[in-house]
Amino acid sequence: MKISPPLTLAALLALAFTLAIGLAPQAAGWSQRDKAGNVFGLMFGDGRKLFANQFFTMADVYFHSGYYPSVFDKNSDEEKEIISHSHGKKESEEDEKNEDFLGKPKDWIDAFGRNFKITKHTHLEHGNEREILPWLRLAADLDPQKIETYTVGAFFLREHLNRPDQAEAFLREGLRNNPDSCEILFELGRLYHESLHDLNRARNVWELGVRKYLALPPASQKESKLIFEEIVVNLGHLEDEAGNYAQAINWLHAAQKVSPAPDALQVQIDAIQKKISAKQP
């Protein structure tokens, strides 16, 4: 069979055109199949989540100035993502005790090699915490559904870098991408309460958090129990601070139902009740 090149070209062009017409509407749907319709999403597809996790880890590596366990080091799983668990707070004393993941040198090669790697456990301070921000920004861009990125980033921005405006913008962005996230609402409430001292906005945000929690299916509620407890306890403290003692007690009672340490909360309730008694003539 003789094939004419111009005819073949014309046929291929017609095929490409037809396919483009047919697939274009669906393709538009593909790009919106998740909420990450950005350039990273297009470039990496679902693989971007892996990159996001890696960048989030990089933030932790930077926070420890390179002192970080590799996949080959002992207890690496326990040590990883310390900043995420503590929301950027310094590790507990127990963590500090376990920090020596390198252990004793195994041989002279290991011992000598340690002269050329960072073996001192330090944390960024004096404003140098800003150095972790690029990695958090990238992690958020790559995986907008990774909630820890927003909470950790906002924590450092408001607590260590005195940038509540940027922290609020970052949390708001997180909230747009994750409208049902109790964690982000909790962090946003802390920002209004602790940094901006705006009790009304903090109350509104936390109360929204409570409503979001209660709207969750039971299985999800179980998972988010801890953050719910933190929200209601903070609401209790906020109302206590605002002088709404009865409301404060209500919140603390609600917290007692989910708290692993209800007795400690009872002590707080008793203290508020004493304040009420003292106020009454």
Partner 1 sequence: MNKIFALAGVVIKELYRRKDFYVLFVLTAVLTFAASAVNFFQDEKIIRYVKDICLLLIWISSLVIAIVTTARQIPAEREARTIFPLLAKPVSRAQVIAGKFLGCWLAAGIALVVFYFFFAVIASSREHTWPVVMYFQAAWMQWCLLAVVIALVLLGSIYFAAPSSTSTISFIVVAGIMLVGGHLNTIALSQPEPMQSVLAGVYYFIPHLEWYYLSDFVVYNMGCVSWVKILAATLYAAAWTGIFLTLAWLGFRRKNLTT
Contacting positions for partner 1 (CB under 8 A): 62, 65-66, 70, 72-73, 106-107, 109-110, 112-113, 115-118, 120, 127, 130-131, 133-135, 137, 157, 161, 163, 166, 170
Q: Shortest Cβ distance from residue 157 to partner 1 (Å)?
A: 7
Q: Shortest Cβ distance from residue 87 to partner 1 (Å)?
A: 18
Task: Taking each helix axis as running N to C, give the angle between helix 225-242 and helix 199-215, from 0 to 180 degrees, rounded to the nearest 10.
Answer: 150
**5 or 116: CB nearest partner 1:** 116
The answer to whether 73 and 102 have CB atoms below 8 angstroms apart is yes
Q: Shortest Cβ distance from residue 138 to partner 1 (Å)?
A: 9
Integer CA distances (angstroms), 161 to 12, 98, 138, 199, in order: 59, 28, 19, 22
**46 or 165: CB nearest partner 1:** 165
Q: Shortest Cβ distance from residue 90 to partner 1 (Å)?
A: 18
Q: Shortest Cβ distance from residue 118 to partner 1 (Å)?
A: 5
**103 or 179: CB nearest partner 1:** 103
Spell 25-58 as b/e; 16+ CB within 10 A means b: eeeeeeeeeeebeeebbeebeeebbebbbebbbb
- Which two tokens mark 14? 């017609």
Backbone angles phi, psi at 270, to 5 degrees: -60, -40
**129 or 229: CB nearest partner 1:** 129
